[in-house]
Amino acid sequence: MNHRFTITVARAAVIFVKSVLMHREFLVFKQVGKSPETMTTASTRQEVIEEGRKHLLIEEGRKQLLINLRRRTTREPSFKLATDTLNFLRKVVLHGTYNNLEELLALLRENGLILSGAYPSELVMRNLVLMVCKLARESNSRETNGEFDSPYDSLNKLWKKEDKENQIGRSAKTIRKKLIQAVNDIQIEMETCREHISAQGQYLVHMNDVLIVHSLSTSTTLSSFLAGAKKDKKTRVFSVQIPTEPDDHDAVSISLCEVAGKMCEATKVILSGATVFPDGSCLAPAGGLSICLAAHRHSVPVYVLCAFYKIAPFFVPDSSAVIKHSLPGLPVAMASKWAGRVRVLQPALEMIPANLITLFVSNTASIMPSHIYRLIGDYYHPDDVANY
Amino acid sequence: MTRKKTIEKKAQTVPSDEPTNNETVASEPSSSTPNEPEATEQVSELVNGVTNLSMTDKERGEMDRQTKSKEQIKAEREAKKAEKANKKANATSKVVASPAPQIQQHAPQIPNGQTLLSTTQVSKLENKKDVTQKPPSPEPKSAIKKDTARGNREVQFDLNTTVLRTPSEETISDLPKMFVFTDLAPNFNVHPVFHTLAARCERGQVADVDDLCEEFLSAFVKFISDWGAERLHNSDADPTALGFDLDLAIRPQLGYLTEDGRWPLPYALGNLVRQLKREIKRLDEPCKHAHTKEDGTVAAELPGGCDKLKELEEWLEETRYSCFELATNSISTHLMQKRKFSKKIVTFDWCRVVNRILLDSLVGEDPDLKHIVVLDQQLNGRGVRHMDTLLDKNVKLDYGDLRSLSVALHKCSIVLIGCSAVLSNGCVAVPKGSLSIALSAQANNIPFMVCAQTFKFVDKVQTYGRMALLGRENMELVPSSLITAIVTDIRIVPPSSAPAILKAKALESQN
């Protein structure tokens, strides 16, 4: 009796596993967009399964990225987010199915839209998607023409006929190889970004300068910039922070309400930017606007540190759409009393207009706010920006 | 006033006595001359003037020549020289030799180990003996007596102390510094209500200048009633010098609050104290209108100037009512026109006037005000008081710190802020952080209004870093260029009209 029972259980288990595998296969076919019945030969069937697995791989990577974003309690540095996004995009380029540039761009755009739809406030993700799109176009163009013509320099080539057939007809394998190499280059550039910015600190900060910095504890770029500035120069640093934040030993901590009074002593204000817009305005940690206004009143120069991946190709007319609110951190008694009655405002970021900023310190150079739009041509393609 | 005069007279008489005594002492040798009437004349002439002295010497010389021969004169001169020489010799010997024998005389009477006399005490003893020129008595002075009597109790190993003191003689200043609480040192001239007020301020229980002024006025009423009752029992008190005495009595109180003038009083409180002092001075002035009864007879004044003190108490109550109740009402009324169409108001930190305005603007079935944003220097600060009062009202409430400034000012109609003082150049002393708000409001083209009662206007152009009672006050100056208007109890004025308000207040107080 027992023997029979075990046999039936084993058979049932086998059937279950088979059905699971079948279902998974079905899912794979569903991902590819073809039904298993239409597949005739075994080799084609195997290819489709392989294709579907790659799809699943991309989807899992995307899910993992979004879950990591959802899990975080405080806002992490943009560098980590940029690295994660780039790793995901590399996965898309590597495992994605495409035969030409158009399909690759569509695939990248599709994934990018899902990411930026889930987190519209994280503009860095969108920037990197568009950046990879431009690199894809660049690598394809190099493959066909031998050189890449900047779309912004196309005024003299208006009468030239565009050879679209050449662009489409390139093999996906070569594009993929070149693009992965370009993405790796971006990765290296991002990693060395902090060093380049901190190296500029030696030239921008002078002897006996009094600096006012904001969100020093959360920005590693800012702390490395100050370390670079302090190497051979004696400076005094006022760090604007809330009382609960940990103190930095090298800086005198002041609260935000004291900034306007201290500004008469300061010679420079240094902020870390979250996103830079083409018109020269930028998103900075909340509180930056009042610091900049006070600096403007006292004619103190304001430097904003921003890596290249923070330069956004779009301008956001309503900044409230991209500003995320952080957790308020009120006492429990008060929170229970106010629940449903009071809205506690705690924006994480703040929009600073271009006229309050003196200089953007990027990894390549120090740029005036009015010249930011010129960098956009280096990193983005106008067609990608228009179609996004 | 009479007491003051007597003090002045004493001060004049004391120095005038000394030169006359000296002159009489100087004139003693001359009185030894044979002609006594001349000597008396000399004394009288000495008092009159020095020029007369030379005249008397000449006359005396003529008289001597007439009566004495040359030999006699020579003999007298020699004798005088010899006397002078003797006197000089005695004086030098006294100066050199006098300390030694005295110490030698005292030393055997102090037991071993008790010779730790201070140099000041020794020198005092010497001086006394030099002045009196009496032979040293075998008994030591009383101070030494005490020391010798308590020889067993003395601490022998304390090398730092040069003076031996009994427990009763020890003062708080003799204790090691770590045990001295100078702030808690008892000041018996200060009324307990001022002690309480200072302690409350120290603990941070007094929120702002308005509360402080109100508490000061109520404390002063208590002080006056107690002081008046004490004065009533004092039979020596001069009824005509009531104001003068009260002025003297409040000095230690104010000195205690300002730590002996170390820190200035907060401006608004300083204004009130100035007015109060003026009222106190008026107490000594003769009454313009005597108290008359209904039947026309003049009412008898209460003893000890109680009626005048009552008048002062009434004045204090009236000031409190006009400065806080009436002024707040009129500010709220003046602002009614301005806030009529405003749907969103942003305020910063706690101010009772602003709170009153907000509550007033929420009265009615369908108030225009729909949205109130309260900002604070940091979360869970003083602005929470606004929230406590507004929580049950039918209005949308937002709360945040200065980091949420740009979000708070979005679609805002008015920024309304209370202040602690308005200076004569139009600058306003406001809580720290208001300058950032004023700058942001200007950048967003939002009117920045300041509420201030007229007693907060001061004729100064600068603030101090620290004020009395409120400690290192969280204040900063907002320049007049950033302020749209100041809402006072007279009317809404631009910040440039601060001198006009001051002038109006001055005229009002004169009348």
Residue B164 reports pLDDT greater than 50: no
Query: How would you list the strands of the sheet with A302-305, edge to edge?
Result: A252-254, A236-240, A210-214, A268-272, A302-305, A359-361, A366-367
Per CB-CB distance under 8 Å, the chain B contacts of A283 are none
Whose CA is closest to A358, among A268, A256, A228?
Answer: A268
Continuous segment of H or E residues that includes residue B111: none
Minimal Cα distance from A240: which residue of B? B403
How close, in Å, is residue A62 to chain B by CA atoms?
Answer: 32
Task: List, in sequence order, the alpha helices (H) in chain A.
Answer: 2-32, 42-71, 78-95, 101-118, 123-145, 164-168, 172-204, 220-229, 259-262, 288-297, 332-338, 372-379, 382-387
Q: What is the pLDDT of residue B133?
A: 47
**DSSP class of residue B239?**
G
Per CB-CB distance under 8 Å, the chain A contacts of B402 are 256-257, 287, 290
Residue B81 reports pLDDT greater than 80: no
**DSSP class of residue B478?**
E
Please give the single-letter amino acid code of residue B349. D
How close, in Å, is residue B404 to chain A by CA atoms?
Answer: 6
Residue with tokens 């609480």: B181
Instruction: Sketch out chain A's domains with CATH numbers.
Output: 1-71 (no CATH), 197-387 (3.40.50.10470)
Per CB-CB distance under 8 Å, the chain B contacts of A337 are 391
The radius of gyration computed from the CA coordinates of chain B, to the nearest angstrom, equals: 37
Compute the distance between CA of residue B168 and CA of residue B186 in angstroms, rounded to an integer.
17
Q: What is the pLDDT of residue A161?
A: 54
Work out the number of other CB atoms within 10 angstroms of the CB of residue A245: 14
Q: Is B394 on the interface with A (CB under 8 A)?
A: no
Compute the distance between CA of residue B275 and CA of residue B488 in angstroms, rounded to an integer.
19
Q: In this complex, do B433 and A331 lie within 8 Å of one another by their Cβ atoms?
A: no
Residue B62 reports pLDDT greater than 80: no
Continuous segment of H or E residues that includes residue B368: none
Nearest to A290 among B373, B431, B436 (CB): B436
CA angle B225, B231, B234 (to 5 degrees): 155
Interface probe for B, chosen from A244, A257, A320 (most Cβ of B below 10 Å), is: A257
* Alpha carbon B418 to its chain's center: 29
Q: Tell me the sheet residues that pair with A129.
A: none
Strand, helix or coil for residue A352: strand
Q: In this complex, do A338 and B391 lie within 8 Å of one another by their Cβ atoms?
A: yes
Strand, helix or coil for residue B446: coil
Per CB-CB distance under 8 Å, the chain B contacts of A343 are 396-399
Compute the distance between CA of residue B452 and CA of residue B483 in angstroms, rounded to an integer.
13
Residue B22 reports pLDDT greater than 70: no
How close, in Å, is residue B356 to chain A by CA atoms?
Answer: 20
Compute the distance between CA of residue A115 and CA of residue A92 in angstroms, rounded to an integer.
13
- Range with lowest mean pLDDT among A145-149, A162-166, A330-334, B97-101: B97-101
Per CB-CB distance under 8 Å, the chain B contacts of A320 are 407, 410
Q: For B112-142, give the secondary structure using H, E and C.
A: CCCCCCCHHHHHHHHHHHHHHCCCCCCCCCH
Q: In this complex, do B377 and A257 lie within 8 Å of one another by their Cβ atoms?
A: yes
Q: Is B258 on the interface with A (CB under 8 A)?
A: no
**Paired tokens of B145:** 């007596």
| pLDDT per residue as tens digits for the range A229-281 | 888 888 999 999 877 777 777 788 999 998 988 999 999 999 999 999 999 99
Compute the distance between CA of residue A379 and CA of residue A1 in angstroms, rounded to an integer.
73
CB A254 within 8 A of CB A274: no
Query: How would you list the strands of the sheet with B492-493, edge to edge?
Result: A342-345, B396-401, B371-376, B344-348, B414-418, B448-451, B485-487, B492-493
Minimal Cα distance from A289: which residue of B? B406
Work out the number of other CB atoms within 10 angstroms of the CB of residue B204: 9
Compute the distance between CA of residue B225 and CA of residue B310 in angstroms, rounded to an integer.
8
Compute the distance between CA of residue A249 and CA of residue A217 in angstroms, rounded to an integer.
11
Per-residue confidence band for A301, with pLDDT thresholds at 50, 70 and 90: very high
Work out the number of other CB atoms within 10 angstroms of the CB of residue B454: 20
Q: Is B433 on the interface with A (CB under 8 A)?
A: yes
Per CB-CB distance under 8 Å, the chain B contacts of A345 are 373, 398-400, 404, 407-408
Of residues A57 and A26, the one with the higher pLDDT is A57
Q: What is the pLDDT of residue A26?
A: 57
- Range with lowest mean pLDDT among A330-334, B406-410, B412-416: A330-334
Work out the number of other CB atoms within 10 angstroms of the CB of residue A239: 22
Work out the number of other CB atoms within 10 angstroms of the CB of residue B384: 18
Contacts of A39 (CB under 8 A, 6+ apart): A29, A45, A48
- Range with lowest mean pLDDT among B103-107, B122-126, B225-229: B103-107
Q: What is the pLDDT of residue A139?
A: 83
Residue A335 reports pLDDT greater than 70: yes
Whose CA is closest to A213, among A199, A203, A201?
Answer: A201
Nearest to A343 among B377, B398, B443 (CB): B398
CB B456 within 8 A of CB B254: no
* Alpha carbon B268 to its chain's center: 17
Q: What is the pLDDT of residue A30?
A: 57
Q: What is the pLDDT of residue B94?
A: 47
Q: What is the pLDDT of residue A298?
A: 94
Residue B89 reports pLDDT greater than 70: no
Q: In this complex, do A345 and B435 lie within 8 Å of one another by their Cβ atoms?
A: no
**Paired tokens of A57:** 């791989």
CB B342 within 8 A of CB B368: yes
How close, in Å, is residue A291 to chain B by CA atoms?
Answer: 8
Minimal Cα distance from A291: which residue of B? B436
**Paired tokens of B389:** 């009062």
Q: Tell me yes or no: is domain B340-510 CATH 3.40.50.10470.
A: yes
How close, in Å, is residue A260 to chain B by CA atoms?
Answer: 6
Q: Is B411 on the interface with A (CB under 8 A)?
A: no
Of residues B467 and A214, the one with the higher pLDDT is A214
Per-residue confidence band for A317, with pLDDT thresholds at 50, 70 and 90: confident
Minimal Cα distance from A325: which residue of B? B404
- Range with lowest mean pLDDT among A49-53, B296-300, B370-374: B296-300
Work out the number of other CB atoms within 10 angstroms of the CB of residue B411: 10
Q: Is B228 on the interface with A (CB under 8 A)?
A: no
Per-residue confidence band for B18, with pLDDT thresholds at 50, 70 and 90: very low
**Paired tokens of B103:** 């110490």
Q: What is the pLDDT of residue A130?
A: 93
Beta strand B475-478 with B428-431: parallel, antiparallel or unpaired?
A: antiparallel
Tally of residues, chain B: 511
Compute the distance between CA of residue A31 and CA of residue A27 in angstroms, rounded to an integer.
6
Q: What is the pLDDT of residue B372?
A: 94
CB B287 within 8 A of CB B279: no
Instruction: Tell me what ipTM this predicted complex has.
Output: 0.81
Compute the distance between CA of residue A353 and CA of residue B125 in angstroms, rounded to an integer.
83
CB A257 within 8 A of CB A285: no
Average model confidence (pLDDT) across chain A: 83
Query: How would you list the strands of the sheet with A349-352, edge to edge?
Result: A275-276, A282-285, A349-352
Compute the distance between CA of residue A285 and CA of residue A269 in angstroms, rounded to an integer.
14
Q: How far is CA A254 from CA A300, B44, B357, in A?
A: 18, 79, 33
Per-residue confidence band for B138, with pLDDT thresholds at 50, 70 and 90: very low
Residues 434-493 of B with CB under 8 A from A: 435-437, 439-440, 443, 474, 476
Residue A33 reports pLDDT greater than 70: no
How close, in Å, is residue A344 to chain B by CA atoms?
Answer: 5
| pLDDT per residue as tens digits for the range A63-91 | 888 888 887 767 777 888 899 999 999 98
Domain spans of chain B? 1-51, 192-321, 340-510
How close, in Å, is residue A331 to chain B by CA atoms?
Answer: 8
Continuous segment of H or E residues that includes residue A254: strand A252-254
| pLDDT per residue as tens digits for the range B293-320 | 444 444 445 555 667 788 888 888 888 8
Compute the distance between CA of residue A4 and CA of residue A224 in angstroms, rounded to an integer.
72
Nearest to B440 among A242, A290, A338 (CB): A290
How close, in Å, is residue A296 to chain B by CA atoms?
Answer: 10
Strand, helix or coil for residue B188: coil
Mean pLDDT along residues A361-375? 91
| pLDDT per residue as tens digits for the range A166-176 | 454 557 778 88
Residue with tokens 């569903």: A30
Contacts of B114 (CB under 8 A, 6+ apart): B147, B148, B151, B154, B164
Q: What is the pLDDT of residue B286?
A: 66
- Range with lowest mean pLDDT among A7-21, A365-379, B345-359: A7-21
Per-residue confidence band for B493, with pLDDT thresholds at 50, 70 and 90: very high
Per CB-CB distance under 8 Å, the chain A contacts of B397 are 341-343
Q: In this complex, do B439 and A297 lie within 8 Å of one another by their Cβ atoms?
A: yes
CB B456 within 8 A of CB B498: no
Compute the distance between CA of residue B270 and CA of residue B273 in angstroms, rounded to an integer.
5
Q: Is B398 on the interface with A (CB under 8 A)?
A: yes
Highest mean pLDDT among A213-227, B143-157, B227-241, B275-289: A213-227
Q: Tell me the sheet residues that pair with A359.
A: A303
Mean pLDDT along residues B108-128? 42
Q: In this complex, do A347 and B403 lie within 8 Å of one another by their Cβ atoms?
A: yes
Of residues B65 and A218, the one with the higher pLDDT is A218
Q: Is B389 on the interface with A (CB under 8 A)?
A: no
**DSSP class of residue A248?**
P
CB B348 within 8 A of CB B449: no
